[in-house]
Chain A
Amino acid sequence: MNLSSPDSKPVRPIFCGTDFSNNSARAARVAAVFAKGSGHPLLLAHVADELSDFSQPNTVDAEVFEETMNQRLVAEVGRLTGDGVAVKGDFLTTSGHLVEHALMQRINEVGPALIVVSSVSKTSFDRWSLGSVSEHLALRAASPTLVVRSSQPFEAWAAGERTLKIFVAVDFGSVSDAALQWAGELRRIGACEIVVAYVGRPDEEWKRLGAADEVRYTENSPEVQASLERNLREKVRVVLGEDAVEVIVEPVAGRADARLIELASEHHADLVVVGTHQRPLLSRWWRPSTSLGILRHAPMSVACVPGAAFPLMERPLPEVRRILVASDFSELSIRAIQHACTMAREGATILLLHVVPPVRLPDLLPVPAAGEDPHEAADQRRRMLDELALRLRKLLPRDDLYPPEIAPSKLHFEAHVVEDDDVARAIGLAAERLGADLICIGSHGRSALASALIGSVARETMKRSRRPVLFVPPATE
């Protein structure tokens, strides 16, 4: 479904819906820009809607009406043809349904690489009563939908007069990978300037990442901000490569879509790209759709990319760059570290994690006697944690255990000691915070019964984290 492979058969057209209005003509010109840039043919579709055309007297024969519309389509096709773009007209009739249904049906038949439609600004009442064709398509089509508000930037971009400023709104899910990938493919058509933005509520992010510093509500705490920025940059790098891409992480108090539109305007974006889950109506009510909000309210053009636009097999392979290894200094966990190193490629980072139960007041922390430094107990505790981190670093495997091309000395190591009662939770949180691509833990192959009754850290971790988990069994001999 990507724009870049026009030779993949059958050739998927770029689909543009038109109603011959000025707005539509603009959309059609943008569609032609994309068709030319990517080498796909352009399919210009018009749905003859008897009901909407009030200029026609009722007595006029339907055939005459259709003939007129068909001629207008042919004329529009003629205007766009040339300049190396293959344009085809597609004349559809509603046959009693709504326009969007007829379009959707055709889209399902041809499976276009891209859908281009214009946005007709409507008031809330209109939208509620008449619905919006662009929203209908964006929420249902399996292809990316581009809603055009201004054609000028695209035309200047295609002519090589300027770079296209693309603003990609993402979260940490797989759907926004599709948005990133689509934005990345636009770089093949012309020079692009990509900004990737993530907004989140500071307190929720703080909780999700299990940060150790204090929670804040109007801005992200330093640890949360650092962690989010690193994770976002890593996510962008996997999809878009090492190219320079601006990454912004902003706190948000209210709706994410409003903040994202604000940010896009601040960055003078020509195009906002957003992934869409295409959730059905009820769950949309339950979880308001950010993509729909952006599509509706953004002043610039918006592309909605559904996850289905790039099936998993067409996405870049996941990279294992940061591996979290839980270690309790046992022999098994040392083995886990060894195996984690085999999973890593050169330049990867191994994150060693040790979890200690926290000190609970007042049973373990003695009340300082007169003359004693009240902070000493806390200092002592901190020293103990530091010492554990040092001991963790000593667990690094020797180079000579490995084939030379995966020698551990080519990897980076970080040691982290955290305090938590629940080891599995601590591992899950640390994986989020540190942006681990993979979690590695030692697992005793207990019998089915025992593990059902006792449960194990390994099992709990698997339930708590959606990240891949590598279980390393004890050595056999």
Chain B
Amino acid sequence: MTTTPFTKPIVCGTDFSPLAQKAADTAAALARRLGVPLLLVHAEEMPLDSPFAKAWLAPMTEALKEEAERLRKEGTEVEEIFSAGLPDEVLCEIALDRGAALVVVASLGRRLPARWLIGSVAERAAEGARVPTLVVRRGSALQAWARGEKPLKVVIGVDFGRHSERALRWVAQLRQLGPLEVTAIYVDWPPKDQPRLGVYAPLGLVGNEPQTEASIERDLYRRVTRILGEEGVKIDVEGTWGSIDTQLIAKATDAGADLVVIGTHQWRGLSRIRNQSVSRAIVRHSPTSVVCVPMPEREAEAPSGPKVRDIGRVLVAVDLNERDEAAASYAYSVVKPGGKVRLVHVESRAPLPPEFLGEGVVIPEPDPEEEAARVAEVKERLKAFCPEEAEARGVQTEVELLDAVDPARAISDAAERFNADVICVGGHTRPGLLAKVMGSVALGVLTHSKRPVLVVRPPRE
């Protein structure tokens, strides 16, 4: 990405309706702000070279000229393009040919039957174009922003995929042009996100568990601010059992958004039905203007692998009974200065289920005071794993005590919650057959977790 992103023309489609005029006004305002030419496009679905067509289309050509003149009077550099073909295809083609930065279309807001029959140019353009598409509704706020009169309230719908990263980067570019008030909204589906984070609390029917929410919020904040910086950025996380798009639109409306930005996968054919495009639903239903940001063609077709993060968060599993100092010191060694290390110790103190205990056997509850003292003592011992150099490197240390039957599972879940870039475990390999039967915690973590795992064995003496 270059630092001067918008040097390319803006493409705007028009059918001369009042709504299209509004869209053209918005596009022109943006083009003026950027100092780039505006390509005003009108498409007709008939061949242009027959004599009949010439007579038939004369008023259309005239109208396009008039519209272009109207915009030129306001000081925009306009090029009018009259083309044959389906409007959305023509728009996408021109955008691609001329290397446009943005496609601007109006939303006609057709009702259901008509949408079924005719479809929507806006939706099709948003799904077909290889460049971001702006679907204009109520363009006045955008125009005011383009004139530098007021900041623009932007809502970004994000998740943790590559596509929303594109959307974030696009907003970052937009921000170079004028002040924005950005709200990043992530709508999650608790049945999926809560187990992913290893939170075993009962699922609420409304919203997220506080622990889940805090965890997601922190990850989201890190993701968003890494691209947008911390200034003027708000984070909002909402759990919903319903459809994501509806919730997102409701939230955007509550936030008083002028513009909703969303990354689009541009699913095609069957996979669109399977994956339930969120962006399409938002283009369709949002009362505000919407920008759909696609993956650039190159990356969409040949993924070069996700971006690699530097190591800012390391989770270390420490077994207090074994010699795990080596694991801890490597964790502090690989974490970047200013990063975070979380030391986790897993205890297996969960009581047996009653059916294993037999009649009348009751396991006494531990004395809460003693228990608290014990936990404090274990945490103290965990903190002792932090080497002296950590402070000099600005590395923060956190400790966590877990109680779980399966340590490997608990560790990989904790890493999910902590959003660890690397999990660090000590490797105590059991000899021969025992290893085959029981495995080790390190191997278990390796099997469970989808994150990089650093296995550190105690050094040779």
Contact = CB atoms under 8 A, between A and B. Distances in A.
Given A452-B436, A470-B452, A471-B452, A401 B305 contact: yes
Interface string B418-448: 0001100001010000001001001110111
B334 interface: yes
B460 interface: yes
A317 B304 contact: no
Nearest to B451: A473
Interface stretch (B51-59, B72-80, B308-316): B308-316
A343 B447 contact: no
B381 to A, nearest CB: 12
B228 interface: no
B452 A339 contact: yes
B460 A401 contact: no
Interface in B241-300: none
Interface in A337-381: 338-339, 341-343
Contacts of B334: 320, 343
Interface stretch (A60-68, A156-164, A169-177): A169-177
Contact of A459 (B306, B329, B443, B449): B443
Interface string A158-193: 000000000000001111000000000000000000
Contacts of A467: 457
A313 B385 contact: yes
Contact of B455 (A174, A319, A468): A468
A401 B459 CA distance: 33
Nearest to B440: A462
Interface string B295-336: 000000000111111110000000000000110111011101
Contact of B308 (A314, A402, A443, A445): A402
A458 B442 CA distance: 12
A342 B451 contact: no
Contacts of A462: 427, 429, 442, 455, 457
B380 interface: no
A446 interface: yes
Contacts of B429: 462-463
From B162, B332, B443, residue with most partner A Cβ within 10 Å: B443
B456 interface: yes
B461 A175 contact: yes
Interface string A377-402: 00000000000000000000110011
B159 to A, nearest CB: 11
A406 B310 contact: yes
B426 to A, nearest CB: 10
A261 interface: no
A331 B306 CA distance: 12
A476 interface: yes
Contacts of A312: 325-326, 329
A316 interface: yes
B447 A403 contact: no
A303 to B, nearest CB: 18
Contacts of A470: 422, 452-455
Given A402-B308, A469-B455, A476-B450, A174 B460 contact: yes
Interface in A437-477: 438, 443, 445-448, 451-452, 458-459, 462-463, 466-473, 475-477
Contact of A311 (B325, B442, B446, B450): B325
Interface string B368-400: 000000000000000011111100000000000
B329 A443 contact: no
A43 interface: no
Contacts of A451: 443, 447
B389 A334 contact: no
Contacts of A397: 308
A448 B308 CA distance: 28
A66 B336 CA distance: 61
Contacts of A339: 308, 452
Contacts of A458: 446
A318 interface: yes
A405 interface: yes
A452 B444 CA distance: 11
B161 interface: yes
Nearest to A452: B436
B306 A475 contact: yes
B421 to A, nearest CB: 8
Contact of A318 (B162, B330, B427, B446): B330
Nearest to A334: B305
> Size band of the A side of the interface?
35 or more
Interface string A128-172: 000000000000000000000000000000000000000000001
A467 B449 CA distance: 21
B457 A466 contact: yes
From A341, A406, A469, residue with most partner B Cβ within 10 Å: A469
A277 interface: yes
A39 interface: no
Nearest to A5: B388
Contacts of B329: 312-313, 315, 317-318
A203 B277 CA distance: 66
A473 B332 contact: no
A335 interface: yes
A172 B333 CA distance: 20
Contacts of A175: 461
A15 B448 CA distance: 52
Contacts of B389: 316-317
Contacts of A403: 309-310
A466 B460 contact: yes
B461 A317 contact: no
Contacts of B332: 317
Contacts of B336: 406
A251 interface: no
Contact of B309 (A334, A335, A342, A475): A342
B450 A473 contact: yes
Nearest to B424: A468
Contact of B387 (A317, A342, A463, A469): A317
A173 B459 contact: yes
B460 A319 contact: no
Given A318-B329, A448-B444, A451-B447, A313 B308 contact: no
B261 to A, nearest CB: 21
Nearest to B390: A317
Contacts of A17: none
A307 interface: yes
B461 A174 contact: yes
B166 to A, nearest CB: 14
Contacts of B387: 313-314, 317
Contacts of A406: 310, 336
A471 B326 CA distance: 17
A477 B309 contact: no
From A277, A319, A473, residue with most partner B Cβ within 10 Å: A473
Contacts of A335: 305
Contacts of B458: 466
A477 B460 CA distance: 39
A398 B452 contact: no
Nearest to B429: A463
12 contacts: A312-B329, A313-B325, A338-B305, A338-B308, A342-B311, A401-B305, A401-B308, A403-B309, A468-B326, A468-B330, A473-B450, A473-B453
The 7 closest A-B pairs by CB, nearest first: A312-B325, A174-B459, A468-B456, A317-B333, A471-B453, A470-B454, A338-B308
